[in-house]
Chains A and B, each alone.
Chain A
Amino acid sequence: MRRTTGRLARGITLLSVLALGATACGSSDDGSKDQKAVSAGDIQAALKKGGTVDVWAWEPTLKSVAANFEKKYPKVKINLVADRSGDKHYTALSNALAAKKGVPDVAQVEYFALSQYSLTKGLTNLAPYGADKLKAKYTPGPWNAVNDGDKVYGLPMDSGPMAMFYNKKVFDKYKIAVPTTWDEYVAAAAKLHKADPKVYIANDAGDAGFTTSMLWQAGSRPYKVDGTKVSVNFDDAGAKKYTDTWQKLLDQKLVSPINGWTDDWYKGLGDGTIATLTTGAWMPANFVTGVPKAAGQWRAAPMPAWTKGDKASAENGGSSLTVPELAKNKELAYAFVEYANAGDGVQTRVDEGAFPATVAQLQDPKFLSKKFDYFDGQEANKIFADSAANVASDWSYLPFQQYANSIFNDTVGKAYVSGVKLPAALKTWQDASVKYGTEQGFTVEK
Chain B
Amino acid sequence: MSSSVTTTSPSAAAPADGGTKSAPRLRTGRKHTPGRPKRSVLLTVLTGLILVYTVVPLIWLVISATKSMDGLANSNGMWFAKDFALWQNIHDTFTYHDGIFVRWLLNTLLYVVLGAGGATLLAILGGYALAKFNFPGKRAVFAVVIGAVAVPGTALAVPTFLMFSKMGLTDTPWAVIIPSLVSPFGLYLMWVFASEAIPTELMEAARIDGAGEVRTFFQVALPLLAPGTVTVLLFTTVATWNNYFLPLIMLKDPNWYPLTLGLDAWNSQAQTIGGDVVFNLVITGSLLTIVPLIAAFLLLQKYWQSGLSAGSVKE
A/B touching: CB–CB < 8 A: yes
User: Which residues of A line the B interface, CB within 8 A?
Assistant: 1, 3-4, 7-8, 19, 22-23, 56, 58-61, 81-86, 88, 91-92, 95-96, 98-99, 101-102, 158, 160, 261-263, 266-267, 270-271, 280, 282, 285-286, 289-290, 292-293, 317, 353-354
> Could you tell me the distance between the alpha carbons of A101 and B73 in the complex, rounded to whole angstroms?
44
Chain B nearest CB: distance from A357 CB in Å? 13
A-B contact pairs, 7 of them (CB 8 A): A59-B273, A81-B253, A86-B268, A91-B249, A98-B162, A289-B275, A292-B69
Across the interface, which residues of B come within 8 angstroms of A160, CB to CB?
A: 273
- A102 and B252 in contact (CB under 8 A), knowing A3-B140, A22-B166, A293-B70? yes
Chain B nearest CB: distance from A161 CB in Å? 13
- Quick check: B162 and A99 within 8 Å, CB to CB? yes
Across the interface, which residues of A come within 8 angstroms of B22, CB to CB?
A: none
- Quick check: B268 and A270 within 8 Å, CB to CB? no
- Quick check: A293 and B166 within 8 Å, CB to CB? no
- Quick check: B265 and A84 within 8 Å, CB to CB? yes
Q: Is B254 an interface residue (CB 8 A)?
A: yes
Chain B nearest CB: distance from A21 CB in Å? 10
- Quick check: A98 and B158 within 8 Å, CB to CB? yes
Residue in A81, A285, A292 whose beta carbon sits within 8 Å of that of B273 in the complex:
A285
Chain B nearest CB: distance from A281 CB in Å? 10
Across the interface, which residues of B come within 8 angstroms of A92, CB to CB?
A: 249, 252
- Quick check: B144 and A8 within 8 Å, CB to CB? yes
- Quick check: A99 and B279 within 8 Å, CB to CB? no
Chain B nearest CB: distance from A127 CB in Å? 27
Chain B nearest CB: distance from A402 CB in Å? 16
Q: Is B212 an interface residue (CB 8 A)?
A: no
Residue in B139, B248, B253, B277 whose beta carbon sits within 8 Å of that of A88 in the complex:
B248
- Quick check: A85 and B273 within 8 Å, CB to CB? yes
Q: Which residue of B lies closest to A1 (CB)?
A: B143
Q: Is B301 an interface residue (CB 8 A)?
A: no
- A60 and B165 in contact (CB under 8 A), knowing A83-B254, A266-B73? no
Chain A nearest CB: distance from B166 CB in Å? 5
Q: Which residue of B lies closest to A283 (CB)?
A: B273
Q: Mark B49-80, 1 if CB is under 8 A from A, else 0.
A: 00000000000000000000110111000000
Residue in A3, A4, A56, A61 whose beta carbon sits within 8 Å of that of B252 in the complex:
A56
Which B residues, 153 to 185, have Cβ-Cβ distances below 8 Å to chain A? 158-159, 161-163, 165-166, 168, 170-171
Q: Is B134 an interface residue (CB 8 A)?
A: no
- Quick check: B274 and A353 within 8 Å, CB to CB? yes
> Could you tell me the distance between the alpha carbons of A84 and B249 in the complex, rounded to whole angstroms?
12
- Quick check: A58 and B272 within 8 Å, CB to CB? yes
- A267 and B73 in contact (CB under 8 A), knowing A23-B162, A83-B254, A92-B252? yes
- Quick check: B166 and A263 within 8 Å, CB to CB? no
Q: Is B29 an interface residue (CB 8 A)?
A: no
Residue in A19, A261, A354 whose beta carbon sits within 8 Å of that of B274 in the complex:
A354
Across the interface, which residues of A come within 8 angstroms of B139, CB to CB?
A: 4
Q: Which residue of B lies closest to A95 (CB)?
A: B161
Across the interface, which residues of B come within 8 angstroms of A3, CB to CB?
A: 140
Chain A nearest CB: distance from B256 CB in Å? 11
Which B residues, 268 to 303, have Cβ-Cβ distances below 8 Å to chain A? 268, 270-279
Across the interface, which residues of A come within 8 angstroms of B165, CB to CB?
A: 95-96, 99, 101-102
Chain B nearest CB: distance from A213 CB in Å? 14
Q: Mark B232-273, 1 if CB is under 8 A from A, else 0.
A: 000000000000000011001110000000001100101111
Chain B nearest CB: distance from A300 CB in Å? 16
Which B residues, 128 to 146, have Cβ-Cβ distances below 8 Å to chain A? 137, 139-140, 143-144
> Could you tell me the distance between the alpha carbons of A19 and B165 in the complex, rounded to whole angstroms?
12
> Could you tell me the distance between the alpha carbons of A22 and B161 in the complex, rounded to whole angstroms?
12
Across the interface, which residues of A come within 8 angstroms of B159, CB to CB?
A: 19
Q: Is B19 an interface residue (CB 8 A)?
A: no
- Quick check: A83 and B73 within 8 Å, CB to CB? no
Chain A nearest CB: distance from B265 CB in Å? 5
Residue in A60, A85, A98, A266 whose beta carbon sits within 8 Å of that of B268 in the complex:
A85
Q: Is B147 an interface residue (CB 8 A)?
A: yes
Across the interface, which residues of A come within 8 angstroms of B275, CB to CB?
A: 58, 60, 85, 286, 289
> Could you tell me the distance between the alpha carbons of A56 and B159 in the complex, rounded to whole angstroms?
22
- Quick check: A81 and B248 within 8 Å, CB to CB? no
Residue in B73, B137, B276 whose beta carbon sits within 8 Å of that of A293 in the complex:
B73
- A60 and B253 in contact (CB under 8 A), knowing A4-B140, A99-B165, A266-B73? no
Chain A nearest CB: distance from B84 CB in Å? 18
Chain A nearest CB: distance from B267 CB in Å? 9
Across the interface, which residues of A come within 8 angstroms of B143, CB to CB?
A: 1, 4
Since A85-B272, A88-B268, A95-B162 are in contact, a sample of 6 more A-B pairs with Cβ atoms closer than 8 Å, ordered by chain A residue number, is: A1-B143, A60-B275, A81-B252, A101-B168, A158-B273, A285-B274
Chain B nearest CB: distance from A324 CB in Å? 13
Interface centre among B72, B140, B147, B254 (most CB of A within 10 A): B140
Residue in B158, B265, B271 whose beta carbon sits within 8 Å of that of A83 in the complex:
B265
Residue in B137, B140, B248, B277 whose beta carbon sits within 8 Å of that of A289 in the complex:
B277
> Could you tell me the distance between the alpha carbons of A59 and B284 in the complex, rounded to whole angstroms?
25
Chain B nearest CB: distance from A348 CB in Å? 13
> Could you tell me the distance between the alpha carbons of A58 and B268 in the complex, rounded to whole angstroms?
11
- A282 and B273 in contact (CB under 8 A), knowing A98-B162, A266-B73? yes
> Could you tell me the distance between the alpha carbons of A61 and B275 in the complex, rounded to whole angstroms?
10
> Could you tell me the distance between the alpha carbons of A160 and B168 in the complex, rounded to whole angstroms?
38
Across the interface, which residues of B come within 8 angstroms of A91, CB to CB?
A: 249
Across the interface, which residues of B come within 8 angstroms of A59, CB to CB?
A: 273-274
